[in-house]
Structure 1
Amino acid sequence: MAFLDFTGQVVLVTGASSGIGAAAAVGFAEAGATVAVHYHQNEEGARHTANAVSTAGGTVSVHQGDLAGVESAGLLVDEVLAKHGRIDVLVNNAGDLVRRAAVVDVPDDEFHRIMDVNLTSVFAMSRRIVPVLRAQGGGAIVNVTSIAGRHGGGGGSVVYATSKGAVSTFTRGLAKELAPDGIRVNAISPGVIRTPFHDRHTGEEQLKAMLATIPMGRTGTPHECVGTILYLASDRMSSYVTGQLIEVNGGQLMP
């Protein structure tokens, strides 16, 4: 039996239209999983991910929702359950910086949007999935936090970093709460990964400054995050691992 074998399992990946979420969806499919691909606005990207999942041999469904609203979490989980009958792994990947700005230039509505997209979505999805996993006898939640949650973020990303720091704390606390139920909760903490996220929010000069702090001297790729996510989701590989944040950052931060 392969160590990374998700045959018969259903994996829900939020924010899977591009970047780390898309790569994770394909990685789970390659390991035998049925994958539910969630997206907010990028339907074309989500369809591209779904095609890649199918090519990898996985069964796939596509679901839309703005997870900044707590009610969307329940609708999404209900849709996936109606389609596939179960959910074994939840990957809370959806999130965004929204825009870079100094704290004094962040209006109230933008602050709340950043917190909702990155933190409320993780809370709402986790709250909804817990009864499902309990009824099934266990499961795994893998959150996607960020190196920004530890070092405060790059220029103009204080609120984003704050939201990710909260996701890290939420991961640890929820892991303690759910351990008796056989539900493991962990997180991957990516560094500078070259995704549409940085294409939207990070200029070349800022990216060069970031590269100067990375011992490996390069950005990471979404594919380089997939192995860690699959490891944390696999009972066979990480059955005694919970409440952990694994850094994937090329040596940029070694806590």
Structure 2
Amino acid sequence: MQKTVLITGASRGIGAATALMAVQRGYAVAVNYRSDAAAAADVVSRIEAAGGRAVAIRADVAAETEVLHLFEETERQLGPLSALVNNAAILEPQMTLETMSAERLQRVFATNVIGSLLCAREAVKRLSTRHGGPGGAIVNVSSMAARLGSANEYVDYAASKGAIDSFTLGLAREVAADGIRVNAVRPGLIHTDMHASGGEPGRIERLKGSVPMRRGGQAEEVAAAILWLLSDEASYTTASFIEVSGGR
């Protein structure tokens, strides 16, 4: 039976690259998106053109009812879940903490942290051997910001990814005996549209000198790490992190 992977925030960037690569590895893919239906449809079209199976499913992971709908639709349209990639995240414009509103903080944490926990909760219910599931894998997309702090830019985003790191460790140990592996990747400076969301499309060019490899990374390089963690080649790997950051 074909495996099914649900990838949140898969209409662009790392999520889209992971969706396209997952099909090459034999997965059927649920392409989750929040607002850009056209971009999600384009990802699905590219997958289908390559002979793969995919569906686009709209859901805001910050809303519990929409998360429930997302998982129900994934299994209704593609079959039982095999894996989850918690990729959906938002980034607000650069500023220091003293100028951040409570509303901004709530938005960032609702999507980046609570959304990931809700999606993982639903995946565990379906994958856990303790509940009659087949086992499986969860990969959380963290960030090097969790270690570096993103001072003067987005400490809220960095803090949300620090929470994802802690969550990865805790959940991995909680469900290891239930046949579920939980790991994370920490991307560094990656060429995606997210930098424009923060107000600086050219951020990688400004900061690439701080990267030992002297360049930004590609979304496909992160996707390759995610797919390895989902694969049987990583069968004895859980509660672990892969940094895709050029040594930064």
Q: Shorter chain as normaliser: what TM range?
A: over 0.9
Against the structure 1 CA distance between its residues 92 and 205, is the aligned structure 2 distance closer, same or farther, given a 3 Å change threshold?
A: closer
1:228 aligned partner, one-letter code:
A
Counterparts of 1:136 and 1:219 in 2: how far apart (Å)?
39
Against the structure 1 CA distance between its residues 204 and 24, is the aligned structure 2 distance closer, same or farther, given a 3 Å change threshold?
A: closer
Counterparts of 1:225 and 1:152 in 2: how far apart (Å)?
20
Alignment of 1:17 onto 2:11: yes
2:196 aligned partner, one-letter code:
D
How far is 1:121 from its partner? 0.7
State how many pairs are aligned: 245
1:175 aligned partner, one-letter code:
A
Does the aligned pair in 1 maintain the 2:195–2:202 contact within 8 Å?
Answer: no
Instruction: Report matched runs for 1:195-206 at 5 Å.
Output: 195-203=192-200, 206=203
Bigger CA drift: 149-158 or 39-48? 149-158
TM-score, normalised by the number of residues in structure 1: 0.92
Against the structure 1 CA distance between its residues 204 and 52, is the aligned structure 2 distance closer, same or farther, given a 3 Å change threshold?
A: closer
Bigger CA drift: 205-214 or 54-63? 205-214
How far is 1:205 from its partner? 6.4
Does the aligned pair in 1 maintain the 2:193–2:201 contact within 8 Å?
Answer: no
Counterparts of 1:114 and 1:241 in 2: how far apart (Å)?
29
Counterparts of 1:166 and 1:70 in 2: how far apart (Å)?
19
Match in the other structure for 1:4: none
How far is 1:204 from its partner? 5.9
Match in the other structure for 1:56: 50
Point out 4+ residue stretches in structure 1 off by more than 2 angstroms.
202-209
Counterparts of 1:85 and 1:163 in 2: how far apart (Å)?
32
Give the match's secondary structure for 1:220: coil
Runs of 5+ in structure 2 lacking a partner?
Answer: none
How far is 1:73 from its partner? 1.4
Counterparts of 1:56 and 1:11 in 2: how far apart (Å)?
17
Runs of 5+ in structure 1 lacking a partner?
Answer: 1-6
Match in the other structure for 1:182: 179
Does the aligned pair in 2 maintain the 1:36–1:63 contact within 8 Å?
Answer: yes
Match in the other structure for 2:107: 113
Instruction: Report matched runs for 1:41-120 at 5 Å.
Output: 41-120=35-114
Aligned counterpart in structure 2 of residue 26 of structure 1, from 20, 36, 54 = 20
How far is 1:66 from its partner? 1.0
Q: CA RMSD in A?
A: 1.4
Counterparts of 2:42 and 2:77 in 1: how far apart (Å)?
20
Alignment of 1:245 onto 2:241: yes
Counterparts of 1:190 and 1:210 in 2: how far apart (Å)?
14
Against the structure 1 CA distance between its residues 154 and 202, is the aligned structure 2 distance closer, same or farther, given a 3 Å change threshold?
A: farther
Deviations 1:25-76 (A, max 9, x none): 0001011111110000111110111111112221111100111122221111
Does the aligned pair in 2 maintain the 1:137–1:181 contact within 8 Å?
Answer: no
Counterparts of 1:152 and 1:206 in 2: how far apart (Å)?
16
